[in-house]
Chain A
């Protein structure tokens, strides 16, 4: 009856009248509110060329002066439209009815106003030069929104709510199905049953369930179906179209009924419902028990109408299995992901489609690479979806961004790296150089831990050469040793040199039993269940990385037990059930246990080698199954004086580099180095005291000097000056 502009205008007019405590909703109230809608405003501005603001001001002042508020409001106050407004609305409705339309907009009522002689609203409109002809012309030029809606009602429900897949296939809009013979045969078996011939395809997302449904249409059109299934007509249900626009109670049910009765008339129909778990609960109003699934149940038992559905395992469990009356009418057909060979075949068959769409040519090698790489690296997706994804993305990127017309295997590789941030360098030429040089580079940065670096390096060599054991992480190392000798530092350098992200967890944050839930997520029912765990999240974001767990001896034993799984099979399942794969990570744990014992030395006359003590301490702390799973325990030595001297030199060098960036140079003598070494040395504290010392006693005076130089009046600060570190009686000075 009324379209949305009309409803809005009436509603606003009522509200305004109520607010003003006016007696009636007059024509002036209505006109003022009708002017609020965008379509009316654009009409007045663009077509009638009338200043709306002026109109509104005059209307408002008229209402204020002439429609006074009621002095005594009764409790039953309910403003009604005036006779004139009633009349105008009726006139507009009658006119629409006579013209065969069933909806009026506020403009129609404005047009009808022209019959209300001597109304102020009309006076205002006419004063501004509006004629009914202008409105009539405008309204006639509007596209008819209502007619399409009403016309749709008379159309065939099959056309409205379903898509004829046979027709679609004949037009060539459906991708052909390749392979999947077994699944198709099983589906045809189910369809040949006497009763409950409704197959339900269940499988992981991306394995090809919908494709099988479409493949049935293809086979039917090509007459490749066995026996009685010639002329199988496949209709894909559009549930959204069925639900959309159901206005009143029973509308949805009526649509369903019409659809089902139409299907009965068809000879050999198959109704394909994608994502069939959505029908459970669809179309219910609150309180009503009758949803789509319940309405469908009786038809499911009818062997004439065959219904085929697709869903995933999880959705099946969550929604479908809860309704046993529904699930018993279906026969589950499990769809597994195709093998790599099959997937390659599928890719080959679809090559033409991708080539014509992206206007590129794809080499066969590229297809093979897609299959291989996605199998190796995209572990949480399934074939053929992931292979197609990779191929599609590669084509899109190469074509649009790089304007490349041939897709080769190398393109696929670079795109995998770019998209999923996975380095496939493990057998690349450039990366093998990096790995071979790694030893030297690390030794240049970390002093005195040559043995440790050697061990680490040999494991990495093995991993990167491709010889690594499949299911475990690239390497699981335990770094032990006194504090401040370079354990964390070595890990950082390793990450830098190998270009891998470093994921760091400080285990002192996980000292309690429940901290495990922070790493892998809390169990269902607990707060934060949906969020997953930090460890699984970080690693799934960057599957090629170095995972550093600092101070592992501080973690709760339960946390350490989680790691057992990781080190053995390289998989961690979080609370939601998602699996994270660690087999491209390097796992490094640092610990200080054994350090104290090693330092203490032995009792008795003969000095036992200190390494024995640390070994014993480690064996005492960590469980045997943990130690057993480690690739190796890398022991870090404490640093002696020569090494510490090197550390001092390195620190001073980095300080001088910083000063250089500010435009000055720093000079010092060997004397200074020795002095620092003596002053700052703390037994057993490793390299850290030197940092602290240099920071306190050298950095601060230099900073002072730099600021003094910057001051205007004294030497010009931008001049390159040399700062000399000098030692005199009082201590260090900077000049």
Chain B
């Protein structure tokens, strides 16, 4: 018998049963976006795009300009799991380099 009955068990009880009432739908993919800010350098953004998203130099430059000009740029579309991990990695790298670069993920809206 587990001592801690409060936290995880309850969550498990509610969601799967609830999901079972209606049909299970295929999970959507997530887009990973980079956001503009006043402190992160352009070079760093390009570096992030190359290192974590495997973009070529030209592509990275293009996306960086997008971020710079329109406020956010699309880095790639991944499964939620992978997207989460990439966001985490970008934030870690930014923190290490003392940049407040923000990375976010949202479900692919254009299905």
Give Cα A132 to B54, complex, Å.
37
A116 at the interface (CB under 8 A from B): yes
Q: Give 5 closest A-B pairs by Cβ, nearest first.
A: A99-B2, A84-B81, A98-B4, A118-B27, A82-B85
* Interface 9-mer from A64-72, A436-444, A469-477, A546-554: A64-72
Q: Chain B interface: which of A120-128, A409-417, A691-699?
A: A120-128
A704 within 8 A of B: no
Q: How far is the CA of A714 from the CA of B81 in the complex (A)?
A: 90
Q: Can you sample 22 A-B contacts with CB below 8 Å?
A: A24-B82, A24-B85, A26-B81, A26-B82, A66-B79, A72-B54, A83-B88, A98-B4, A99-B1, A99-B2, A99-B3, A115-B8, A115-B11, A115-B12, A118-B27, A118-B28, A119-B80, A119-B81, A120-B27, A126-B16, A126-B24, A132-B16
Q: How many Å lie between the Cα of A117 and that of B20 in the bound state?
A: 13
Whether A119 and B27, one on each chain, are in contact in the complex, defined by CB atoms closer than 8 angstroms, is yes
Is the CB of A91 closer than 8 A to any CB of chain B?
A: yes
C-alpha gap A440/B39 in the complex (Å): 122
Within the complex, which residue of B2, B8, B16 is in contact with A91, where a contact is CB–CB below 8 Å?
B8
Given contacts A114-B15, A118-B27, 10 further A-B contacts (CB under 8 A): A24-B85, A66-B79, A70-B54, A83-B85, A84-B80, A100-B2, A117-B15, A117-B80, A119-B81, A126-B24
Contact A123 B54 (CB under 8 A): no
Asked if A724 lies at the interface with its beta carbon under 8 angstroms from chain B, I say no
Q: Write out the residue numbers on chain A whose beta carbons fall within 8 Å of the beta carbon of B27.
A: 117-120, 122-123
Task: Kindly provide the distance from the CB of B78 to the nearest chain A CB, expressed in whole angstroms.
Answer: 8
Within the complex, the shortest CB–CB distance from B57 to chain A, in Å, comes to 12
Contacts of B79 in A (CB 8 A): 26, 28, 66-67, 119-120
Q: Is the CB of B1 within 8 A of A85?
A: no
* Chain A residues whose CB sits within 8 angstroms of the CB of B29 once the complex forms: 66
Closest B-chain residue to A66, C-beta based?
A: B79
A14 smallest CB distance to B (angstroms) = 15
| Closest B residue, CB atoms, query A116 | B81
Closest CB of chain B to A118's CB: distance in Å? 4
Chain A residues near B54 (CB-CB < 8 A): 70-72
**A27, B27: Cα distance in complex, Å:** 13
Whether the Cβ atoms of A82 and B3 lie closer than 8 Å is no
Docked pose: A71 CA to B51 CA in angstroms: 11
Q: What residues of B have a CB within 8 angstroms of the CB of A131 in the complex?
A: 16-17, 20
* Residues A66-88 near B (CB distance < 8 A): 66-67, 70-72, 82-85
Residue of B nearest to A119 (CB): B81
Within 8 A of A (CB), among B26-82: 26-29, 54, 78-82
Closest chain B residue to A22 by CB distance? B82
A673 at the interface (CB under 8 A from B): no
Binary flags per residue of A85-112, CB closer than 8 Å to B gives 1, else 0? 1000001001100111000000000000
Q: How far is the CA of A457 from the CA of B5 in the complex (A)?
A: 96
Shortest C-beta distance, A685 to chain B (Å), equals: 95
**Contact indicator A85/B16 (Cβ below 8 Å):** no
Cβ–Cβ contact A98 & B82, under 8 A: no
Q: In the complex, A120 Cα to B28 Cα: how many Å?
A: 9
Q: Which has the most chain B C-beta neighbours within 10 Å: A23, A82, A84, A99? A: A82
Query: What is A's interface to B at a CB cutoff of 8 Å?
Result: 23-24, 26-28, 66-67, 70-72, 82-85, 91, 94-95, 98-100, 114-120, 122-123, 126-127, 131-133
Taking CB atoms, residues of chain B closer than 8 Å to A127 are 24
Q: Which single residue of chain B is at the shortest CB-CB distance from A94?
A: B8
- Asked if A84 meets B85 with Cβ closer than 8 Å, knowing A118-B28, A119-B79, the reply is yes
Task: Count B-side interface residues using an 8 Å CB cutoff.
Answer: 27
Whether the pair A118, B80 counts as a contact (CB closer than 8 A) is: yes
A192 to B71: give the CA distance in the assembly, Å. 94
CB distance from A83 to the nearest CB of B (A): 5
Chain A residue with the shortest CB-CB distance to B78: A66
Chain B residues with a Cβ under 8 A of chain A: 1-4, 8, 11-12, 15-17, 19-20, 24-29, 54, 78-82, 84-85, 88
Q: How far is the CA of A142 from the CA of B24 in the complex (A)?
A: 30
Which A residue's beta carbon lies closest to that of B87? Answer: A83
Separation of A94 and B27 alpha carbons in the complex (Å): 27
Residues of B within 8 A of A115 (CB): 8, 11-12, 15
Q: Chain B's nearest CB lies how many Å from the CB of A26?
A: 5
- B16-A114 in contact (CB<8A): yes
Residues of chain A with a CB closer than 8 A to B12's CB: 114-115, 132
Chain B: which residue is nearest A126 at the CB level?
Answer: B24
Is B84 in contact with A82, judged by CB distance below 8 angstroms? yes
Q: Report the separation of the CA atoms of residues A92 and B1 in the bound assembly, to the nearest whole angstrom.
A: 15
Contact A95–B82 (Cβ < 8 Å) = no
Shortest Cβ distance from B81 into chain A, in angstroms?
4
Q: How far is the CA of A15 from the CA of B15 in the complex (A)?
A: 33
Complex CA–CA separation, A82 to B16 (angstroms): 22
Whether A67 lies near B3 (C-beta < 8 A) is no
Cα separation A114 to B2 with both chains bound (whole Å): 19
CA distance A100 to B79 in the complex (A): 35
CA gap between A123 and B25 in the complex, in Å: 7
Question: Who on chain A is nearest to B19 by CB?
Answer: A126
Decide yes or no: A95 and B19 within 8 Å by CB, A66-B79, A119-B79, A123-B27 being known contacts.
no
* Complex CA distance for A24 and B86, rounded to whole angstroms: 10
Contacts of B19 in A (CB 8 A): 126
Q: Please, how many angstroms separate the alpha-carbon atoms of A84 and B88 in the complex? A: 11
CB distance from A75 to the nearest CB of B (A): 14
Specify which chain B residues have a CB less than 8 angstroms from the CB of A118 in the assembled complex: 27-28, 80
Bound-state CA distance A98–B3 (Å) is 6
Smallest beta-carbon distance B44→chain A, Å: 19
Q: Beyond A23-B82, A91-B8, is A100–B3 a contact (Cβ under 8 Å)?
A: yes
- Cα A95 to Cα B7 with chains together (Å): 10
Alpha-carbon distance between A118 and B25 when the two chains are bound, in angstroms: 9
Complexed CA–CA distance, A27 and B84 (Å): 12
Complex contacts, A67 vs chain B, CB 8 Å: 79, 82
| A448-B3 Cα distance, complex, nearest whole Å | 102
- Determine how close the nearest CB of chain A comes to the CB of B109; give it in whole angstroms: 14
Q: How far is the CA of A51 from the CA of B29 in the complex (A)?
A: 26
Query: Which residues of chain A are near B84, meaning CB under 8 Å?
Result: 82-84
Chain B proximity of A93: nearest CB distance (Å) = 11
Q: Please, how many angstroms separate the alpha-carbon atoms of A119 and B29 in the complex? A: 9
Q: Which B residues lie within 8 Å of A94 (CB)?
A: 8
Question: What residues on B are CB-neighbors of A91 within 8 Å?
Answer: 8
A94–B7 Cα distance when bound, in Å, is 11
Cβ contacts under 8 Å, B20 to chain A: 126, 131
Shortest distance from the beta carbon of A529 to any chain B beta carbon, whole Å:
63
Contacting residues, chain A, for B1 (C-beta < 8 A) = 99
- Closest-by-CB residue of B relative to A74 is B51
Nearest chain B CB to A111's CB is how many angstroms away? 8
- Measured CB to CB, the nearest residue on chain A to B27 is A118
User: Known: A23-B82, A82-B81, A119-B80. Is A98-B88 also a contact (CB below 8 A)?
Assistant: no
A554 to B94 Cα, complex, angstroms: 94
- Pick the contact of B26 from A24, A95, A98, A123 — CB < 8 Å? A123
Q: List B contacts of A114 (CB < 8 A).
A: 12, 15-16
Is the CB–CB distance between B81 and A95 below 8 Å? no
CA distance A72 to B2 in the complex (A): 47
Q: Closest residue to B6 on the A side, CB-wise?
A: A98
Q: How far is the CB of B111 from chain A (nearest CB, A)?
A: 14
> Cβ of A70: which chain B residues have Cβ within 8 Å of it?
54
CA distance A117 to B84 in the complex (A): 12
Residues in B with CB closer than 8 Å to A72 are 54
| Residues from chain A with Cβ under 8 Å of B26 in the complex | 120, 123
Using CB atoms, name the residue of chain A closest to B25.
A123
Do B28 and A123 touch across chains, with their CB atoms under 8 A apart?
no
Tell me which residues across on chain A come within 8 A of B24, comparing CB atoms. Answer: 123, 126-127
CB proximity of A67 to chain B, nearest CB, Å: 7
